[in-house]
């Protein structure tokens, strides 16, 4: 066994302290580049807008029957309004739902009242569109590009929905919006297709 004198012990402690200080300094220098390389930007995540406007085209195929129209759709805090036009720009109908529950469809000089927009699109297009559902679909909520997903409607039926192409919309620092430029929804012999040319959050 080796016994160190007091002078030797003091020298040994000094050498040990110096070694530990140097090792700590080297360790700190080694980690600095990694710390500075960490990204500082916040990763953006898509969110669903409650209020928006869009313009595009809609087609509805039921068995061998095919109907198509241009569509302008706006949802704001006071009302929801869908306008349907022929390919040449003539207005076919305007369906609106006001805050408080009044829902109407105007066709020419005729005005029809109903309980819901779905009831009016059934009369106009042959398919009941629940716009609360479609509003989420056109923003890609719950969808992956080119992958069919099944969504159960309030009436118990199931729509198979495919988003064919996502587009980026207006964004903020912490979140971003997106929309589906092409969307197909099928249920039995019914196929609804949307082509969205423009979408923006309100």
Q: In the chain, what percentage of residues exceed pLDDT 90? A: 65
* Residue 87: φ, ψ to 5°: -60, -20
> How confident is residue 32, by pLDDT bands cut at 50, 70 and 90?
very low
What is the CATH architecture of 51-201?
A: Clam (2.50)
pLDDT value at position 141?
93
**If residue 28 lies in a helix (H) or strand (E), which one and from where to where?**
helix 6-37
A 10 A CB-CB count for 192 gives 23
What residue spans define the domains of the chain?
1-34, 51-201
Per-residue model confidence as pLDDT tens digits over 47-61: 899 999 999 999 999
Q: How far is CA 10 from CA 2, 20, 68, in A?
A: 15, 15, 93
Tokens 């056109």: give the residue: 138
Average pLDDT, the chain: 82
Say if CB 161 and CB 151 are below 8 A apart. yes
The single-letter DSSP state of residue 13 is H
Q: How does strand 175-187 pair with strand 45-46?
A: parallel
pLDDT value at position 17?
47
Per-residue model confidence as pLDDT tens digits over 57-92: 999 999 999 999 999 999 999 999 999 999 899 999
Q: Pick the residue with more confidence: 101 or 78?
A: 78
pLDDT value at position 44?
46
Q: How far is CA 161 from CA 19, 57, 64, 83, 124, in A?
A: 66, 17, 20, 23, 22
| Adjacent-strand bridge partners of 45 | 175
Q: With a cut of 60, say whether residue 187 has pLDDT above it.
A: yes
Q: With a cut of 70, say whether residue 98 has pLDDT above it.
A: yes
């Amino acid at each position: 066994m080796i016994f160190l004198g007091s002078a030797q012990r003091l020298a040994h402690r000094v050498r040990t302290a110096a070694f530990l200080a140097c090792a700590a300094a080297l360790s700190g220098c080694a980690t600095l580049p990694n710390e500075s390389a960490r990204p500082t930007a916040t990763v953006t995540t898509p969110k669903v807008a409650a209020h928006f406007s869009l313009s595009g085209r809609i087609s509805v195929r039921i068995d061998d029957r095919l109907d198509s129209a241009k569509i302008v759709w706006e949802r704001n805090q006071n009302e929801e309004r869908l306008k349907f036009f022929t390919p040449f720009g003539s207005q076919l109908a305007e369906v609106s739902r006001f805050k408080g529950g009044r829902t109407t469809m105007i066709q020419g000089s005729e005005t029809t009242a109903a309980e819901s927009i779905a009831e009016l699109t059934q009369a106009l297009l042959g398919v009941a569109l629940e716009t609360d559902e479609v509003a989420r679909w056109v923003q890609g909520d719950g969808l992956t590009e080119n992958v069919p997903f099944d969504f159960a409607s309030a009436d118990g039926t199931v729509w198979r929905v495919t988003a064919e192409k996502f587009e980026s919309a207006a964004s903020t620092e912490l979140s971003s919006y997106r929309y589906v430029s092409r969307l197909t929804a099928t249920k039995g012999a019914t196929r609804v297709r949307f082509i969205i040319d423009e979408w923006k959050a309100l």
